[in-house]
Amino acid sequence: MNQDAPTNRTQVARLPKRGDYSEATIYSILDAGFLCHVGFVVDGQPFVIPTGYGRLGNTFYLHGSAASRMLRTLAMGVEVCVTVTLLDGLVLARSAFHHSMNYRSVVLFGTATLVESSEEKTTALRAISEQIVPGRWDDVRWPTEQELKATKVLALPISEASAKVRTGPPLDDEEDYSLKVWAGVLPFHVQTGVPLPDPRLPVDVDDVPGYLLDYGKRPI
C-alpha cells in the first residue's frame, strides 16, 4: 500500500484534511472493528451487504456460506468496495447546521480472490474469529474438512484504501459562540451486557471465559 499516493477512488474530496492514507491509521481502524459493509454490482443492480471480517497483514478476509451470492459473485473478480466505520461520538453544535459526528472510517477498493487451500482457509477463519472475539478460537472445536468445504473465504488485498477521521469539539460560526446553547461532544463507547449461558451447557461448565468478561475493555 502506497500511503503517499492516494488513487482517484481513495482521494478524500470532501474535507480532505480529514483524510489519512497511512498504513498505520488504516490498519488501526480495521483492527478496532469487525463489521464491514461490502458494496458490489451484479447485472447493473447495486448491493451493500453487512458482514464480519478479519485482517492478517495486508490481507482483508471475508467468509460465509459457499452458497452465498455475494461471495460467489466476488469470487468471479467483480470489483468490490468495502467500508468500515467506528462511531466515537455525537458532536452537538450551537447551530443545527454544524452538528456532526466524531468517527473513524476506512474505504477499501479492489478485487477479491477465492482462498482455495484448507490451510489458508483455516488461518483466515481464525483471523476472523479472533477479530470478533479475541481468545475464542483456542476454546472451540476447529472446522472439519466438510465444514471448510461448506464455507467460502475470500482474500482482498489492502492496496487501495483511505481513512477519514473526525475528532474534537464542534466548529461553529464565530458569531454563534456567544449563544446560550449547550455544545460539546456526547462520547460513544462499546458496552457489553452480562453473558447469557446456553441452556444446554453441561452442568460442569459454569465459568464464563475471561475474554468475554473483559470484552468491553478491549480498545475500539
Residue 102 within a domain: yes
- Nearest by Cα to 140 from 126, 154, 153, 128: 126
Backbone angles phi, psi at 71, to 5 degrees: -70, -40
Residue 98's domain spans which residues? 16-174+186-213
Please give the radius of gyration of the chain, using alpha carbons only, rounded to the nearest integer: 21
Query: What is the count of structural domains for the chain?
Result: 1
Q: What is the pLDDT of residue 3?
A: 54
**pLDDT, tens digit (0-9, with 9 covering 90-100), for 96-117:** 999 999 999 999 999 999 999 9
Q: What is the pLDDT of residue 197?
A: 92
**pLDDT, tens digit (0-9, with 9 covering 90-100), for 2-11:** 555 788 888 8
**pLDDT, tens digit (0-9, with 9 covering 90-100), for 37-69:** 999 998 899 999 999 999 999 999 999 999 999
Which run of H or E residues covers position 134?
none
Q: Is the pLDDT of residue 90 over 70?
A: yes
Q: Is the pLDDT of residue 89 over 80?
A: yes
CATH code, 159: 2.30.110.10
